Structure 1
Amino acid sequence: MKQNIVVFTGAGVSAESGLKTFRDMGGLWHEYRLQDVASPQAFERDPATVLRFYNERRKAVLAARPNAAHEAIARLEDKYSVVVITQNIDDLHERAGSTHVIHVHGEILKARSSADQSRIYTLKGPLIEIGDLCELGSQLRPDVVWFGEGVLHLEQAAQHFSNADKVLAIGTSLTVFPAAGLVDYAPPTAERVFVSPELQEVPRYYRFLQGTAVETVPPLVARWLSH
């Protein structure tokens, strides 16, 4: 029976594919005011600006390519039962070959109804424009979690963590809750590894590997696959 691995990824993994992070110095929040682009109130007040912001992010995602860390994570499926739980809204894990990805903060390549959040649509291109409506006649918006909105699939993600034999957390600041709290659901018997380029507070019982995802994850995956 295959062991269960949970891989928990944050913006640091996508940053190595050239996608700007929201929170790092020089990240997107320094170019845009948070309240102007990432809340339901902002969308109600100025939907055109919000849609334009996410259209630019979507173009960047479509132009980006999976990096060596994404590809190494996908290779874990050769030996293990793997669930990738990501805070990232891009599709780079899927494009690298991971087959079970849970997006707790939504997916930028999808749109959803602003009236009924269960109505979700895969976009055929990079743009959502004013006047793009769902069947209910309501404006489409990005299928991403904004501030003040509930994180997606949280109970399902917590269950995967609690059943894990190994947990690999990469490129996350662990400052965005409630998703950051998921690392604490790993059982005491699990091997737990935390990868970050900077020294920061490491979750309890996690082994810290300092380095970028591209530097650190492929060798770790190679060791796990060889055991």
Structure 2
Amino acid sequence: MEKIVILTGAGISAESGLSTFRDEGGLWAQHRIEDVATPEGFARDPDLVQDFYNARRVQAAQVQPNAAHQALARLQSEWPSEVVIVTQNVDSLHEAGGAENVIHMHGRLDGALCAACGHRWAAPPEMAVGEPCPACAEPTARPDVVWFGEMPYHMEEIYSHLSSASVFAAIGTSGQVYPAAAFVHEAQAAGAHTIEINLEPTMGTSGFDDRLVGKATETVPQWVNRLLQQKD
């Protein structure tokens, strides 16, 4: 049976109430990316960066998984072969919706990372500048998220999954940020059928075999239902 690899982006969590880079009036609209999502920004003003991610952590804790998250969890549980979910999102809505073994290529808001020794632990609701690492005691705690200019996590594992995929779906992602933007080409090179599910076609849609346009809470459950019906 076919192995399915799914990439999700901010669009799948937007309907749960989490703001994206492009939302007007959201958290991201109040700051320049260079100030809050780069190693240089953290070095320049760690208080600003910690406050920004504390606010994002509070926001993420207040929202619930939506029908799209739940549909992908259902696909994982009912599909007779492997279903791998790779997400660019730093929230935990996939897990809250019932998904398992989600690959967070950009880290997680609920995680803390020691910049000195690399130790990881569960982040408190509010992180402070100079918080000590539980492993080495250095005052170098930072959010365990991948900033611009840093290498995404789990890339070797992700490429391994793409090379053995029969179906690849990109859901709610702009298709403009690399390396994730190239995943469709990796999957196609392995012979996978590719589909984009998004609010509107992206610039890279020519790389997909199929596309579904509309709200994730409507299109993703429809796609999952169709797949599961084909299985029977």
Q: Do structure 1's residue 31 and structure 2's residue 30 form an aligned pair? A: yes
* CA drift at 1:61: 0.9
CA contact (8 A) 1:183 1:203 kept: no
2:196 to 174, 194, 197: 194
* CA drift at 1:28: 4.1
Deviates further, 82-91 or 197-206: 197-206
**Partner SS state of residue 186, structure 1:** helix
Change (3 A) 1:214 1:168: same
**Partner SS state of residue 133, structure 1:** coil
CA contact (8 A) 2:19 2:28 kept: no
CA distance in 1, matches of 2:14, 2:166: 28
Residue correspondence of structure 1 range 96-175 to structure 2 within 5 A: 96-117=97-118, 119-123=119-123, 125-134=124-133, 135-136=135-136, 137-175=138-176
> Which residue type is aligned with residue 164 of structure 2?
N
**Partner SS state of residue 141, structure 1:** strand
CA contact (8 A) 1:104 1:179 kept: no
Residue correspondence of structure 1 range 56-95 to structure 2 within 5 A: 56-77=55-76, 78-79=78-79, 80-95=81-96
CA contact (8 A) 1:184 1:203 kept: no
* CA drift at 1:176: 1.1
**Partner SS state of residue 61, structure 1:** helix
**Partner SS state of residue 57, structure 1:** helix
CA contact (8 A) 2:184 2:207 kept: no
CA distance in 2, matches of 1:214, 1:176: 23
**Partner SS state of residue 227, structure 2:** helix
Size of the alignment, in residue pairs? Answer: 224
TM-score by length of 1: 0.93
> Which residue type is aligned with residue 30 of structure 2?
E
CA distance in 2, matches of 1:81, 1:130: 41
CA contact (8 A) 1:20 1:27 kept: yes
CA distance in 1, matches of 2:186, 2:202: 20
TM-score by length of 2: 0.91
Residue 217 of structure 2: aligned partner: 214
Q: Deviations over 1:79-131 (max 9, x none)?
A: 231110110011111111111211111111100002123x11112x3111123
Residue 204 of structure 1: aligned partner: 207
CA distance in 2, matches of 1:176, 1:113: 26
Across the aligned residues of Structure 1 and Structure 2, the Cα RMSD in angstroms comes to: 1.5
Change (3 A) 1:108 1:214: same
CA distance in 2, matches of 1:158, 1:26: 36
> Which residue type is aligned with residue 47 of structure 1?
P
Deviates further, 44-53 or 153-162: 153-162
**Identity among equivalent pairs (%):** 45
Give the gaps of 5 or more residues in structure 2: none
* CA drift at 1:27: 4.9
